[in-house]
Structure 1
């Protein structure tokens, strides 16, 4: 038996694990990151809870409605823009939107001197104009033009702020419109002018410029559509061609030609700035109205161009030091009255209401026009009292009726003004007497025939006795016809008129171009109680100068459409039928030369030229005339008040003769003297019977017989005579 108490040797395995293995401690779970929950706000109850809930509900409702309305509005806007987009034409159809055409007037040398109607000048593009002009327009009108989509909220907000600060309405004054919006306005939102609508062009344009909210909304839609349809360059091109820039110029090419006589492709920075400055207020800033104001506006544009990087400091300094100036034609603004007369007398469908671009060549002479204006100004500056409201008119023409210069009033740089040379009907006074003496000479009377300057009384049916008197109330006894005309004696003129027959005097005057409807009926006809215009009287004197043939004063030589070489119409001249014989006209010229060399018209003399003419002063000196001619040109001068107030100390031989002299001296500078076509009479004299006599020419005898058959020669009066001292000095 073994001793069981004897200790046993441990087994190998037991020795390996002599110590019992420790159990691994269980891993503690990672602590959870817990967020502290805010304690829920206690639920409001009662009235406050109701109000808060209602407020939240309203906000949600507003958001819901606003978002839906915005979506609907955007859809409607997209549809509206899409509709306008579909109706927009090709860009080329929008470049010339004029409702009427233009008229360009050329002088006798083919140089432009006046424009009428809407001048266009031709299409320009954003790429073809001068870069300076392109930059000036963008800098002035819309500096963010190339960055917006047609609308500029920042510009609109700025404009509203400026308007409110100035005390205006938010949409009055500055509009904040982009160039695109301005084009939409120029296009009148696609509504073209319809002359048959009964609406004038001015009313149409005013409607297009309305600034109501509704109109602004339509304008915005149209602008967005254009931005989608056209490129920026095309929009700017439309703008450059349609903008009105004053003086009838539509588009920058027309304006550049109008003011500077050059293409818009060639303008320099100062000229570009002046053109761009017109966009704000074309009439106010037009350089033809106020050059200094236009230059000041251009200086502002140059500053903007410099600030926006379009001009360097050096370039701006050069432009500021050399402001833009008008071309010679634009600066002269010549022929305002003449141009208006040509427009009124020409065919209406090619002048006043033309839809074409018309070129009219005229008889106008810019040198003579300046001579007329300068001569008139010199007299009023040096011989007329300051503040006088007296007016004057001048017409200069050739012997064939070609009008070379015209002044219709003291204000010479005008357009559309009242033209006293062509429109004012005024009593002619003794300026009418050459027609009396011309009628006598044509019947065989001699300049040396005698007439008795003695008291005369005529019994006028329906008016009673009438006794004319001379200006100085003196009587000279037997005087020649030449002396009677030279001294502008009234009684001899009446006796001669009665002797040859006043109806014959009337016919001579009418045939020379004096309107029959304005001629007096009684014996006062011989003293110029009739009315006429200055241009008609001057034209009648031109008929005397050319040898006795009537002329029609004219200014239009030929007319053609722009781009055509062949004229549509032309005028060969103004000479018409003969009124008196050549020898009668030449003897009358001889008598009228004595008026200037020895008689009432001596203040018209200048140099060593032969001059013939006649003075005229009407009743109470309401009108004063001098009309005369050299061997080259005829000129007429009228002076008076528009309201028929009498002139103070003025007769036809005074200030009107002075004006005539100052004008014609300048007209004849550099012109060689030409002898008058006059004929001295024979020395024989014979007395004239103041009672009506049968004329000594065969034609006159036939006319007298006809008058006798029709009821006598000295009947009819109906016109008041001048005051007893009407006449001249």
Structure 2
């Protein structure tokens, strides 16, 4: 094998001669390769045996075959790559064209299935319902829209700029959709390793909010594009931006910048600072996850991104952004602690019944006394914070109303933010002994008196053996003593004596609206009721025998000032005779003076009430009243689990007493209606001797009164002159 050394500047010519090339050629000649030249026509390498070789005669043939291979092989590689690249470009263009055609066709198809564009109009803004207290001061706002529309020119310039910077930087340049903005947002999100910018334009977001559902489908997205284009054609940029700012959702039930500003910062949108504006703009991305009331650090982090975007766009200087970052927005703490939410929900439940479907903005003046609302909330929440965990008390509720049924305070739970379930209005629970006044009133209306005697002894009814809480028996006791000490056996005997159906009728007459089972256990409060209806059913004792349906709306006015509703007096007549009111009040007053409700005493005031405790300590109640106020407290657990021996005369009576003492502090004492100290009270002889008929409003002969029972007038004389005591 011969290796020819070619000096720099030489190369092999087709004829086998060397030419200058400038490099050292170490390649083998075809004849020198192992096995010789490929193919039958290749010349063989001469052998040492002296055989003749045709290779020496035609030395150029293999050289001519090898030279073209050396020159053309790289060209084929280059042509193959360029061809592949060209084909890729070609088919990419073809696919892009057809994709565009298909997309356009789909867009046209979606547009064809929308309502006629010329018939579209911006939907009317849903109504705002402003809820105020009896003093006219705002308590809450309800409705799908949480705030009044604010003109764009009335807002500080950096507020709309904040939304443009973080949501749609090319808002002023695009025509409804922004392909460049989508690409820029995608790149920014990749670089920042997170979703810092969105792809939908403000026009697209507005189209979705106004006309479409929140579903995430390709069909809805295409409809969104069509409607965004229509909005851009129909309205100016400023009009679109104004609509957007007044319709976008900010969480916590706040729609629009005005509602959001009031909810989070306690001020109108016109007065928002740069830091506050940035925080609101940041909420649009995820109102729940970024809610500053629950995730303040996340909301502030998002606001910093908004400020950076504003500085990048030149809306603010970097110095202004730094100042806003150094002084971040502070979220105001709601003074009502959230309990007003229960009031607002109750108002919304009854509003349609009063004025029909609300289509325009209205102002609702409630019967709520803001001062008393705070007193009720504080009395409940502080008691539960102190003793709730120790006594296994998870929840509670408080209702206070004037004797005519006007609700002055309503707390449906310990914290509205944690649970919106309104236990004061919606929860039906067994009232226990708090139901006994209806049993005793029925007995009085059948001719008994507070001094009537009944036996406190074991009793058995078809296998049921009701027992007293203390498991002790006193023997013969007066009705006053039996009620004051919540003796179960006497209450059951009275219910059987007058009839369970009569007791149920009495309860319904006074204000109980829930279904009551007319059986023997009715005396122990086994039928479930709500707190608000039980409190209203005690109100006739506080007002002299008149009906008192619970009322929370005093007046409803339109945005133009037109009166749509005014509360009127209950048209029903008297539901309890004055004589029976006086006797019931005397008996219920004894509960607080010497019975199971002593912790509810109010110094200087006549107060009456009744405790209630259900089996296994699942519910604990205290319902009571003065001549000025009726109130009730319930404690228990939502899952009906037992508390640790919590009774109505314990913590519920303490909460009731604290609330009522503070609520009566600035008022002169007032006697209970029909009280012996009331000089204006006059007994009616027919009413003294006979019970009251709820259906006819007339007196009827007493049923089954024995000769051993004193008449009503003799009972009154005994009480007046101290005989028989």
TM range (shorter): 0.7 to 0.9
Q: Which residue of 2 aligns with 1:159?
A: 186
Q: Which residue of 1 aligns with 2:258?
A: 253
Name the SS for the 1:114 alignment partner. strand
Q: Distance in 2 between matches of 1:189 and 1:69?
A: 34
CA 1:606–1:301 in structure 2 vs 1: closer, same or farther (change >3 Å)? farther
Q: Which residue of 1 aligns with 2:582?
A: 586
Q: Distance in 2 between matches of 1:128 and 1:704?
A: 71
Q: Distance in 2 between matches of 1:641 and 1:82?
A: 58
Name the SS for the 1:518 alignment partner. coil
- 594-603 vs 337-346, which deviates more? 337-346
Q: Which residue of 2 aligns with 1:286?
A: 291
- 630-639 vs 69-78, which deviates more? 69-78
Are positions 1:185 and 2:205 aligned together? yes
Q: Which residue of 2 aligns with 1:115?
A: 141
CA 1:255–1:496 in structure 2 vs 1: closer, same or farther (change >3 Å)? same
Q: Distance in 2 between matches of 1:76 and 1:650?
A: 72
Q: Distance in 1 between matches of 2:147 and 2:636?
A: 41
Instruction: Spell out, residue by residue over 1:24-50, the C-alpha distance to the aligned partner (whole angstroms, 9 max, x if none).
Output: xxxxxxxxxxxxxxxxxx999989877
| CA apart distance, 1:63 | 6.4
| CA apart distance, 1:533 | 1.4
Query: Which runs of 5 or more residues in structure 2 are unaligned?
Result: 1-67, 678-688, 705-725
Of residues 501, 504, 511, the one that matches 2:502 is 504
Q: Which residue of 1 aligns with 2:343?
A: 338
| CA apart distance, 1:144 | 4.5
Name the SS for the 2:547 alignment partner. strand
Q: Which residue of 2 aligns with 1:477?
A: 475
Q: Which residue of 1 aligns with 2:409?
A: 405
| CA apart distance, 1:393 | 1.6
CA 1:53–1:383 in structure 2 vs 1: closer, same or farther (change >3 Å)? closer
Are positions 1:369 and 2:373 aligned together? yes
Q: Which residue of 2 aligns with 1:614?
A: 610
Name the SS for the 2:526 alignment partner. coil
CA 1:288–1:367 in structure 2 vs 1: closer, same or farther (change >3 Å)? farther
Q: Distance in 2 between matches of 1:346 and 1:133?
A: 35
Name the SS for the 1:432 alignment partner. helix
TM-score (norm 1): 0.73
Check conservation: 1:350, 1:356, Cα contact below 8 A: no
Q: Which has the higher contact order (CA 8 A, sep 6+)?
A: 1
| CA apart distance, 1:546 | 0.9
Query: Which runs of 5 or more residues in structure 1 are unaligned?
Result: 1-41, 194-203, 682-694, 709-729
| CA apart distance, 1:472 | 1.9
| CA apart distance, 1:312 | 5.0
Of residues 453, 456, 478, the one that matches 1:451 is 453
Q: Which residue of 1 aligns with 2:48?
A: none
Q: Distance in 2 between matches of 1:338 and 1:455?
A: 45
CA 1:443–1:385 in structure 2 vs 1: closer, same or farther (change >3 Å)? same
Name the SS for the 1:187 alignment partner. helix
Alignment of 1:662-673 (within 5 A): 662-673=658-669
Q: Which residue of 1 aligns with 2:61?
A: none
CA 1:666–1:317 in structure 2 vs 1: closer, same or farther (change >3 Å)? farther
Check conservation: 2:597, 2:610, Cα contact below 8 A: yes
Are positions 1:549 and 2:546 aligned together? yes
Instruction: Spell out, residue by residue over 1:250-282, the C-alpha distance to the aligned partner (whole angstroms, 9 max, x if none).
Output: 322332344445443332223322322222222
Are positions 1:382 and 2:404 aligned together? no
CA 1:220–1:707 in structure 2 vs 1: closer, same or farther (change >3 Å)? same
Name the SS for the 2:139 alignment partner. strand
Check conservation: 2:127, 2:144, Cα contact below 8 A: yes
CA 1:616–1:638 in structure 2 vs 1: closer, same or farther (change >3 Å)? same
| CA apart distance, 1:233 | 2.8
Name the SS for the 1:336 alignment partner. helix
| CA apart distance, 1:595 | 0.9
Name the SS for the 1:614 alignment partner. strand
Name the SS for the 1:552 alignment partner. coil
